[in-house]
């Protein structure tokens, strides 16, 4: 079966072409993501096995890779450990302020002074998710939301 290879700074991911194609089709159809259609066209026209995701397409494909690993599909070679791990062996990690904007817990204000203080606008925040190997080395991480 054909494979798709995606490389990051700390890892080399390997996925089944069928899983990648299904995920990209879903993104293109349901979410209207134009990059997903372009990546799907690239994979369809590629004649090599395994198909390597080129560097200029790595950023948009990273979200697909993150989604596939979250679904426990594929495997990852940790460049630090020099070991290959199945997706179900990887640890989920959070980026910034959490996976979703709803997971942010604001700090409580205390004291009389803050009781009558003007409300201040919260500074911009961001968050996301990623995965690390069992040894704790970050393999992939993406910002998935910003305020």
Q: Is residue 3 within 8 Å of residue 16, measured between CB atoms?
A: yes
Buried b (16+ CB within 10 A) or exposed e, 96-118: bbbbeeeeeeeeeeeeeeeeeee
Q: Between 126 and 115, where is the model more confident?
A: 126
Tokens of residue 88, six digits = 């179900």
Whether the per-residue pLDDT at 110 is higher than 60: the answer is: no
Whether the per-residue pLDDT at 124 is higher than 90: the answer is: no
Q: Which residues contact 16 (CB under 8 A, 6 or more apart)?
A: 1, 2, 3, 4, 73, 74
**23 vs 147: CA distance, rounded Å:** 27
pLDDT in tens, 91-101: 999 887 666 66
Burial degree of 4 (CB within 10 A; 0-12, 13-18, 19+): buried
pLDDT in tens, 47-93: 788 899 888 877 888 889 999 999 999 999 999 999 999 999 999 99
Tokens of residue 116, six digits = 């009558």
Tokens of residue 60, six digits = 């948009």
Query: What is the pLDDT, as a whole number, of residue 108?
Result: 47
Each domain of the chain, given as residue ranges in start order, spans: 3-146
């Amino acid at each position: 079966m054909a494979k798709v290879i995606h490389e990051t700074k700390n890892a080399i991911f390997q996925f089944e072409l069928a899983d990648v194609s299904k995920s990209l089709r879903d993104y293109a159809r349901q979410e209207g993501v134009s990059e997903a259609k372009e990546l799907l066209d690239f994979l369809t026209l590629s004649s090599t096995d395994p198909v390597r995701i080129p560097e200029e397409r790595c950023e948009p494909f990273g979200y697909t890779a993150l989604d596939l690993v979250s679904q426990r599909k594929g495997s990852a070679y940790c460049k630090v450990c020099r070991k290959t791990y199945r997706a179900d062996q990887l640890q989920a990690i959070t980026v910034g302020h959490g996976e979703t904007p709803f997971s942010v817990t604001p700090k409580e204000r205390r004291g009389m002074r803050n009781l009558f203080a003007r409300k201040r606008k919260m500074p911009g925040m961001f968050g996301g998710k990623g995965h690390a190997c069992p040894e704790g080395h970050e393999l992939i991480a993406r910002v998935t939301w910003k305020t």
